Chain A
Amino acid sequence: MAETHSLQDMRQQAAIAAKVFIQRDYTNGTICQFQTKFPSELETRIDKQQFEETVRTLNNLYAEAEKLGSQSYIEGCLACLTAYTVFLCMETHYEKVLKKIAKYIQEQNDKIYAPRGLLLTDPIERGLRVAVEFDRQITVQSF
């Protein structure tokens, strides 16, 4: 009985340990930034520098998307004058940067993470709440 319990426990652990959640970092306010703290579960899997580099680049890209500068002001005013109908034909600056981010994540997955059996999901799929790294190698065979 103890054995089945521990097997169940292990299965549960394995199913959860398969995903590592990188949480949002709110120290600079509500702008979208992720924590660069290196999760302990990934210590054996990937180089700390690589990971921090990835997260830092993502943070910079999101900061670029949300930047309050002359470009965003001009876009905002132009859109307001046209009653926001201009967005029917034009893509917003944020959407353009999101596409860049998706491409960057794809690139990182192909070059760095997939060879190590990891996968980084795009935070937009989780409502910009977490970025998820998951371990494709941990699979559970029998149930």
Chain B
Amino acid sequence: MSAVMITRKVRKWEKLPGKNTFCCDGRVMMARQKGVFYLTLFLIIGTCSLFFAFECPYLAVHLSPAIPVFAAVLFLFVMAMLLRTSFSDPGVLPRALPEEATFIEMEIEAANGNVPAGQRPPPRIRNVQINNQIVKLKYCYTCKIFRPPRASHCSICDNCVDRFDHHCPWVGNCVGKRNYRYFYLFTLSLSLLTIYIFTFDIVHVAMRSVDSGFLNTLKETPGTVLEVLVCFFTLWSVVGLTGFHTYLISLNQTTNEDIKGSWSGKNRVQNPYSHKNIIKNCCEVLCGPTYPSVLDRRGLMQEDSSVSTCADPTSSSTSTSSSSSGGNNTVSQTTHAILCLQKPTAPLIPNEHTPDDAKPSIAASAEKSSSPKEEHPPATKVPPLASPETDAETSIAKDKTH
């Protein structure tokens, strides 16, 4: 029985942790629950279709053809902003690779000193000074990083998001640094569209009632009633939301910070990110640089999977002979096979594979296969990695007892 390594190329999005769904081969990134997003789409498209079908013919003729044209432009803008918000990466921070996580663990151990067994270790916080204010950076147990300032972990998507605002089910995605301005423009343009449709519905009913009477108008254009209802209820929520976010933008705050009251109250730190100037704050949030995605979704990586096959000397010999430079490759294949037999579930560390660092990473993964490695849920406040120090300490303790 021999283990055959099958290496295939996969896109990185297939191996990303977190609870996102990806479409179009990694180009589209959304949350898992999309039901409310479909409802949003249905409401917007449905209401606008009714408007174009029932009101626009009358208004184009009796008032101006510019009315449906402007409505169409506004509708297209709303859809573009909605899709942009929903489909883009909100600013997800990739999780720490094992070496980085271990390095951070070591730094934390060094900072906290020895904690007696049984006592809860102190919370993992790093203080940084930003614009003469002390800001606390928290450690994320899931992503194994110290969260940058303004980042927060979204439990629905299971990702740390930079400048996390909130998770919006209506757009089916988190709202963070990269898509906040699209979200804001979506709510703003949707408010305008709602007000526009509502106004022209009233105008249309008023104008037609003069000719045909109120009840006849409603019979001729039944869609109007539905539109007015939808617009009336949408108006309050969306316009309110737009107003709220305008307020947040002028102060350069996020919804998350506002809800937690991070910068409010006398004894608390003042917002260190605000420019103290409303125009500058607005410009930064809305017209600032467009940040690139740091989550590589469409990059290619090797996925090594082992397949145990029946002993077939002919096939294995042909595979080794078909490899380019006989000596090196048989050695590497053997080492791969050895790794595979030791720990078949651990893939080799992705996206660091240059020929030069294959050896240290193989050593690191071999080392990890020997030391116990458990997966801890984020609820427990114990160091998730079995750190080499604890292993060393237990073995030293064992030595001493001998």
**B residues lining the A interface (CB < 8 Å):** 76-77, 80-81, 84, 93-94, 96-97, 99-100, 102-103, 106, 128-131, 135, 137, 145, 148-150, 163, 182, 185, 272-273, 280, 283-284, 286-292, 294-296, 351, 356-357, 359-360, 362-364, 366-367, 370, 388, 392, 395-396, 398-399
A143 contacts which of B135, B185, B363, B388 (Cβ < 8 Å)? B363
What chain A residues lie within 8 Å of B163 (beta carbons)? 30
User: What 1/0 mask marks residues of chain A from 32 to 54 whose CB sits below 8 Å from any chain B CB?
Assistant: 00000000000000000000000
**Structural contact, A12 and B367, CB atoms closer than 8 A:** yes
What chain A residues lie within 8 Å of B128 (beta carbons)? 26-27
Q: How far is the CA of A125 from the CA of B103 in the complex (A)?
A: 17
Interface size on A, residues (CB 8 A): 54
A73 to chain B, nearest CB (A): 5
Q: How far is the CA of A26 from the CA of B132 in the complex (A)?
A: 11
**Structural contact, B357 and A134, CB atoms closer than 8 A:** yes
A138 to chain B, nearest CB (A): 7
Q: Which residue of A lies closest to B103 (CB)?
A: A21
Cross-chain pairs A/B with CB under 8 angstroms, 25 sampled: A1-B395, A1-B399, A14-B363, A15-B99, A15-B364, A19-B99, A21-B103, A26-B135, A29-B272, A30-B148, A73-B283, A80-B185, A83-B80, A84-B80, A94-B290, A125-B351, A126-B100, A127-B295, A129-B96, A129-B148, A138-B360, A139-B359, A139-B363, A140-B360, A143-B366
A77 to chain B, nearest CB (A): 6
Q: How far is the CA of A112 from the CA of B20 in the complex (A)?
A: 41
What 10 pairs across the A-B complex have the smallest Cβ distances? A76-B287, A140-B363, A83-B80, A127-B294, A127-B94, A15-B364, A139-B359, A12-B388, A26-B128, A73-B287
Q: Which of B103, B163, B366 has the most CB of A within 10 A?
A: B103
Enumerate A74-127 residues with CB–CB distance to B below 8 Å: 75-77, 79-80, 83-85, 87, 92-95, 98, 119, 124-127
**Structural contact, B292 and A94, CB atoms closer than 8 A:** yes
**Structural contact, A72 and B287, CB atoms closer than 8 A:** yes
What chain B residues lie within 8 Å of A28 (beta carbons)? 130-131
A98 to chain B, nearest CB (A): 6
**Structural contact, B102 and A83, CB atoms closer than 8 A:** no
